[in-house]
Structure 1
Amino acid sequence: MGLIAEFRMTSEQLPLVDVAEGVPEATVEFESVQGHPSGAPTFIVRVAGADADAIKAAFADADSVTDHSLVVADGATRRYRCRPTGNPPTDLELLADNGSIPDRVLATPSGWEERRWFADREEFDQFRTFCRANDYELQLDRLVEADEGPDGRVTSPFGTGDRSRPREMTEAQQEALVTAHKMGYFDTPRTATMADVADELGVASASLSERLRRAQNHLIAEFRRSSSIKPRIN
């Protein structure tokens, strides 16, 4: 038994709120968060539905994030790398120990809109305590129970899914995987290094490593779930 919550966190102090305010017609979505042993994490943010110059100006004018840079532009969709400014939230250890899994996080002009998986009510209450400690007003839209079946999948009014299942492979992850394969990164012996592929994509090696890891995790998870794929014994 688990819980799935849809809620809004309202605060002007949340990162990227000022970016969303600068392009209110756009969708500003967190694609990944890369933690660091010391210092602020790195956000990869997907922005779609706004003029490219307007998006660039919104990041340039934002006070909530710094070190912003364009990662990739694909038509009307642009992905930026950035880091939050200011001091980290209080009780960050409490959030780090929380086992909940964010499924979707959108930045809006007033805060964040989020859908998150929780193992139980205690985990949800712990998350809500963290929000209150940081003056984030949490407005709960839906909180429903999810029943877990023998195959690890969960069923709820939101639909069917797997709490442990990674999100669908992103376009950036697909691009990284295909480019690495084409360049010979997976060959034996390798004909391209991580740095070679990263240079081709115009990203940092650390970012590429994270994308490849997530892409491979997704493929392996799909392999294990597919009843039509059987291991071959020679």
Structure 2
Amino acid sequence: MGLIAEFRLVSEGLALVDVAAGIPDATVEFESVQAQPSGPPTFVVQTAGADADAIDAAFADADSVTDHSLLAAEGATRRYRCRPTGGPPADLELLADNGSIPERVLVTPTGWEERRWFADREEFDQFRSFCRANDYRFHLDRLVERDDGSDGPGTGPFGRDDDLSRPPEMTDAQHEALVTAHEMGYFDTPRTATMADVADELGVASASLSERLRRAQHHLVAEFRRTSNLKPRTN
């Protein structure tokens, strides 16, 4: 059993965000993070879709990382090594026992888009608390429970029991309300969160949340009927 989460962290303070902003049409993705005996870790980053001069200029102008160097180049894909500037994030001890494993971290001009495996919901909540303690705005896009007997992250597609991908008609606000309510336990039996709890988490009124959930559930049912070819009642 485990959880796969897809989420976005939004913050100008995240490493490499300023690099991605300097080459907005390119892809900037973490390949690895290598811990050092002392000092900051070393990042290995893969870029694609920008020429060498533009990438070098973006690294040179960035404040979040330093000491970048080219490791390899193959066509439009280039791999760089660099180090983050500044001290470690606050409240790092919150992650002392967290065994979550990132499967993909894509850097954008506004933050990170991440896919990460968690052993259980406690680890997920711990990681989310750490992000919020550092003012990283956490937007959950998908939370999937794996029940296929694996003990770690998978490489296959999503699609297990609790897949909460967004139907095309659902708005971002409705999707965020639905996913937040789900991961807080609003739909559990018995419930572990109330409507007011979820509304407080999202910073909206309970009446607004109720309307968003109602519309989100309508879209889910409509999508289920469409994909399962369920015929409407005729009586």
Residue 69 of structure 1: aligned partner: 69
Q: Distance in 1 between matches of 2:155 and 2:52?
A: 39
RMSD: 2.1
SS at match of 1:122: helix
User: How far is the alpha carbon of 1:73 from its aligned partner?
Assistant: 1.2
- 1:80–1:96 CA distance, 2 compared to 1 (3 A): farther
Q: Distance in 1 between matches of 2:48 and 2:144?
A: 30
Q: Distance in 2 between matches of 1:3 and 1:42?
A: 27
SS at match of 1:148: coil
Alignment of 1:15-164 (within 5 A): 15-149=15-149, 158=158
- 1:96–1:47 CA distance, 2 compared to 1 (3 A): farther
Letter in 2 for 1:112: W
User: How far is the alpha carbon of 1:95 from its aligned partner?
Assistant: 2.1
User: How far is the alpha carbon of 1:157 from its aligned partner?
Assistant: 6.1
User: How far is the alpha carbon of 1:116 from its aligned partner?
Assistant: 0.2
Count of residues in Structure 1 that have an aligned counterpart in Structure 2: 160
Contact (CA 8 Å) 2:117, 2:153: kept in 1 or not? no
Q: Distance in 2 between matches of 1:27 and 1:47?
A: 5
Letter in 2 for 1:141: D
User: How far is the alpha carbon of 1:37 from its aligned partner?
Assistant: 2.6
Q: Distance in 1 between matches of 2:150 and 2:12?
A: 43
- 1:8–1:59 CA distance, 2 compared to 1 (3 A): same
Q: Distance in 2 between matches of 1:27 and 1:156?
A: 22
Alignment of 1:145-224 (within 5 A): 145-149=145-149, 158=158
Which has the greater radius of gyration?
Answer: 2
Letter in 2 for 1:129: S
Q: Distance in 1 between matches of 2:79 and 2:45?
A: 5
Q: Distance in 2 between matches of 1:139 and 1:9?
A: 6
User: How far is the alpha carbon of 1:94 from its aligned partner?
Assistant: 2.3
Q: Distance in 2 between matches of 1:46 and 1:69?
A: 12
Contact (CA 8 Å) 1:147, 1:156: kept in 2 or not? no
Q: Distance in 1 between matches of 2:67 and 2:82?
A: 5
In the TM superposition, what whole-angstrom CA distance separates every residue of 1:97-154 from its partner, at most 9, and x where no partner exists?
Answer: 2110000001100000000000110000000010011000000000111113279786
| Structure 1: gaps (5+ residues) | 161-234
SS at match of 2:147: strand
SS at match of 1:104: strand
TM-score by length of 1: 0.64
Contact (CA 8 Å) 1:2, 1:148: kept in 2 or not? no
Q: Distance in 1 between matches of 2:84 and 2:153?
A: 34
TM-score by length of 2: 0.64
User: How far is the alpha carbon of 1:38 from its aligned partner?
Assistant: 1.8
Q: Distance in 2 between matches of 1:132 and 1:153?
A: 24
| Structure 2: gaps (5+ residues) | 161-235
- 1:121–1:56 CA distance, 2 compared to 1 (3 A): same
